[in-house]
């Protein structure tokens, strides 16, 4: 199955970590960029469609601005990103120009992905670029992004892009070989795991304990990204990008890296967007009867099953559903504001109009807008 996935994937999102192409001491590493461009060019020549999500802009800007340390304040980070982003794109442009490949820069924030219309616009733009044979190079728009609209790290962004473009495979290039049975620096007998069929709690714990990655992400963010895109049906390969020729070799079926398999029953694009892109604005607490109706019988959420409301939200906002033990088990788009829900929680459907007047919806969350997590 591993060979089939890797050799047959046509549309691939490749995330390039900052440690591969930039360092605080020297700024950008043009030799590395040219090598990776050559390997990606070879994949395209073999009929693959490739999109790049690239880190490295801030590190490049740090060197150019002469900063001694990584920026601690948001304005300085944004200034470094503004300087470094243009240098990073120029390096990519020159590297791919030698191969006769045109590139395009795409800058995104979480706000672009959380708005469904902007999400679809980005999807159509990327599809058009691919259709023209242009190689999209994507990064977070760090120059303007603040915490409220940031994706946060490029592993997560790469996962979002894989969903955005209906990729067949997400490849995360970093400076380690993949996921090991244990930390190989502490235990030389640790072995690389070539295939991870399912991301269990044990796998997540092992990734969280890893400290072998540099940058804003780590193995934990890579495994989280793999878990999210796996729900959409996209497998993830983590592989060492420092080893020349390894990427095309692995995609040709050679050993290397760790492949995280996807779930067989994939979420639709819209439900994946609800589950993993949108950030919840509040919580609704449910009784056990409502939990069973949603999780086991595929029903919509009604007001009668709600025991409590937390947070402030408006109709149309994303909220999470909590079971009687306080565990998150579902997420959806709510049809009532938090103020309205506090007035009608626990009521039968026919009693809601007495409290709120005529309503467009009977369901608090319709099953088409609900995802069981």
For 319, half-sphere exposure in the C-beta direction (CA atoms, 13 angstrom radius) is 29
Q: What's the first-to-final CA gap in the chain, in angstroms?
A: 26
186 is in an annotated binding site: no
Strands 328-333 and 318-322 turn out to be antiparallel
Task: Give the three-state DSSP class for 167.
Answer: coil
Is residue 154 marked as binding? Answer: yes
219 known member of a binding site: yes
Are 43 and 96 a contacting pair, CB within 8 Å? no
- Residue 175 is labelled as binding a ligand: yes
CB of 135 closer than 8 Å to CB of 50: yes
What string of H, E and C letters represents the secondary structure of 296-359? CCCCCECHHHEEEEEECCCCCCEEEEECCCCCEEEEEECCCCHHHHHHHCCCCHHHHHHHHCCC
Is position 115 annotated in a ligand binding site? no
Sheet holding 103-108, edge to edge: 103-108, 135-140, 49-54, 11-16, 169-174, 236-240, 258-260, 195-196
Whether residue 333 contacts residue 321, with contact meaning beta carbons closer than 8 Å, is answered with: no
**Does 177 appear as a known binding residue?**
no
> What is the CB neighbour count within 10 angstroms for residue 8?
10
Any binding-site annotation on 82? no
* Residue 142 marked ligand-binding: yes
300 known ligand binder: no
What does the DSSP 8-state code read for residue 168?
Answer: S
7 is annotated as contributing to ligand binding: no
258-260/282-286 β-pairing:
unpaired
Q: What is the rounded (10 degree) CA torsion for 271, 272, 278, 281?
A: 50
Does 60 show up as a binding residue in the annotation? no
Could you list the residues known to form a binding site for substrate, using ranges. Answer: 55, 142, 154
Could you list the residues known to form a binding site, using ranges. Answer: 15, 55, 142, 154, 174-175, 216-222
Could you list the residues known to form a binding site for ATP, using ranges. Answer: 15, 174-175, 216-222
């Amino acid at each position: 199955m591993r060979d089939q996935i890797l050799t047959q994937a046509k549309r691939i999102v490749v995330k390039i970590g900052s440690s591969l192409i930039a360092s605080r001491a020297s700024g950008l590493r043009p030799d590395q960029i040219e090598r990776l461009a050559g390997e990606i060019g070879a994949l395209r020549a073999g009929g693959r469609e490739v999109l790049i999500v690239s880190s490295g802009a801030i590190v490049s800007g740090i060197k150019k601005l002469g900063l001694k340390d990584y920026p601690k304040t948001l304005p300085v980070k944004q200034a470094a990103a503004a300087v470094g982003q243009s240098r990073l794109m120029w390096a990519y442009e020159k590297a791919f120009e030698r191969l006769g490949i045109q590139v395009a820069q795409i800058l995104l924030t979480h706000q672009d992905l959380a708005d469904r219309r902007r999400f679809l616009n980005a999807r159509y733009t990327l599809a058009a670029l691919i259709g023209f044979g242009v190689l999209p190079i994507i990064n977070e728009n760090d120059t303007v992004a603040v915490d409220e609209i940031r994706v946060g790290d490029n592993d997560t962004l790469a996962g979002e892009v894989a969903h955005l473009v209906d990729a067949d495979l997400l490849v995360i290039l970093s400076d380690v070989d993949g996921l090991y049975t244990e930390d190989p620096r502490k235990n030389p007998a640790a072995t690389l795991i070539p295939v991870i069929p399912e991301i269990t709690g044990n796998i997540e714990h092992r990734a969280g304990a890893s400290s072998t990655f540099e940058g804003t992400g780590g193995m934990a963010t890579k495994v989280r990204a793999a878990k999210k895109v796996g729900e959409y049906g996209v497998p993830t390969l983590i592989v060492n990008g420092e080893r020349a020729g390894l990427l095309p070799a692995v995609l040709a079926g050679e050993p290397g890296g760790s492949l995280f398999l996807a779930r067989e029953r994939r979420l639709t694009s819209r439900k994946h967007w609800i589950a993993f892109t949108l950030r919840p604005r509040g919580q609704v607490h449910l009784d056990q009867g409502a939990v069973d109706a949603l999780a086991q019988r595929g029903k919509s959420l009604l007001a009668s099953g709600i025991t409590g409301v937390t947070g402030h939200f408006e109709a149309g906002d994303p909220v999470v559903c909590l079971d009687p033990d306080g565990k998150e088990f579902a997420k959806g788009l709510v049809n009532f504001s938090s103020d309205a829900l506090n007035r009608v929680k626990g009521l039968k459907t026919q009693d809601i109009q007495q409290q709120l007047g005529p309503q467009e919806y009977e369901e608090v969350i319709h099953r088409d807008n609900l995802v069981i997590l």
